[in-house]
Amino acid sequence: MQNTPVTSLVGAEYEVEVGPVAHGGHCIARTDAGRVLFVRHALPGERVVARVTEGEETSRFLRADAVTILDPSKDRVEAPCPFAGPGRCGGCDWQHAKPGAQRRLKGEVLAEQLQRLAGLTPEEAGWDGTVMPAEGDKLPAGEVPKWRTRVQYAVDAEGHAGLRKHRSHEVEVVDHCMIAAEGVSELGIEKRDWEGMAAVEAIAASGSHDRQVILTPRPGARLPLVELDKPVSVMRVDEKDGGVHRVHGRAFVRERADERTYRVGSGGFWQVHPKAAQTLMLAVMQGLTPRKGETALDLYCGVGLFAGALADRVGDQGAVLGIESGKRAVEDARHNLAGFPRVRIEQGKVEAVLPRTGITEVDLIVLDPPRAGAGKQTVHHLAGLGARRIAYVACDPAALARDLAYFAERGYKVRTLRAFDLFPMTHHVECVAILEPVKKDA
């Protein structure tokens, strides 16, 4: 039987009316024939010419870029970054939108996901509908918050550093990233030759003057002599095991939150926005209101940010258990929280370790899962522990909404939800949901 060739639609152009924003940094539009387009570089209500970037005649939807703006939105601005736009750097989604409009768009996406996946209105989720900017991020039009304390540069075949194009392995060579924190920019990564490297990650701690670069060599390449514009420690990614090893300088950077210093090693996880760790820690503690003597879980605990804040507040008579899968993060968490004898950190995946602990009840739970969420099995296990309050920290509104629905199945409702714009210019939003058991009627 002969296969019928599938016709690619890449490069086809459609004049469309742009509809609502969707999760993922694009808006939805339909062609005259009813075909769905996911259009980047557009805003709701605009009329644009959209050029297809992915899709075939048989595709359920097409991806496209708005290449000509026929009727612009009042929320549209000239993108401040010279590397933003169709076919260019994929690091930002909303350079073409006013800062207030970006936050409104994120709020619309969050509201849609909550309604569609959890059946919750903003009122039912205890959310006022706003996405709050971080302290210091409200800037005049045309100015961009310099918030990204960790930047993963890709390196092209000629050794030039840049950033990946959207949904592509192609490198957009840049001479400066506008959203990079000053501590990253001052290293001058973009100015030097990185021949033989596949990637260079630059880290500028916001809690100290520590600076670090992590080099990923191409197979068989030798490590270059790293001479940058500021003192920096150097790490390398091993091509065999993927581990991160020290070349020279400190193997960690020092960060600050809740008046405590945290060691973060080997490129381990720490919130990227300089204000994020403190903002989220306060939102979690205000929502949980920990009491002296209580017991708490900190799941996906990283280097111990929430475990430390909990330990401070539950005191010597309380106890905190943290669970984290990353070996180096566990070592850092144990180091960071060594002053709390009633804190224990276990290594492993939450779904595997938690049942083995034998814990049957707990007062408080914090979970900060990866982008995919915690999942039904883990949520149902947590709901069975009888916590008086649970704090769910989420970087993905769809995963949050799915997990809130799982909690609802087991008798937990959302008390409050807060949303923070900790990734300006991108489609990402960070949320803190506080849950509590539904009161049984007497």
Catalytic site positions: 395
Nearest Cα residue to 262 out of 314, 202, 203, 332: 332
The CA-atom distances, in angstroms, between 204 and each of 147, 182, 281 are 11, 8, 20
Nearest Cα residue to 402 out of 45, 200, 114, 178: 114
User: How far apart (Å, rounded) are the C-alpha atoms in residues 66 and 46?
Assistant: 10
Query: How buried is residue 311: exposed, middle or buried, by Cβ count under 10 Å (0-12/13-18/19+)?
Result: buried
User: How far apart (Å, rounded) are the C-alpha atoms in residues 8 and 54?
Assistant: 8
- CA gyration radius, the chain: 23
In SS3 terms, 176-229 reads as CCCCECHHHHCCCHHHCCCCCEEEEEEEECCCCCCEEEEEEECCCCCCCCCCCC
Query: How buried is residue 356: exposed, middle or buried, by Cβ count under 10 Å (0-12/13-18/19+)?
Result: exposed
Q: For strand 47-54 and strand 319-324, is the pairing parallel, antiparallel, or unpaired?
A: unpaired
Nearest Cα residue to 210 out of 194, 178, 180, 234: 234
User: How far apart (Å, rounded) are the C-alpha atoms in residues 201 and 184?
Assistant: 10
Max CA distance (Å), the chain:
74
Q: What angle do CA 349, 151, 211 make, to 5 degrees?
A: 95
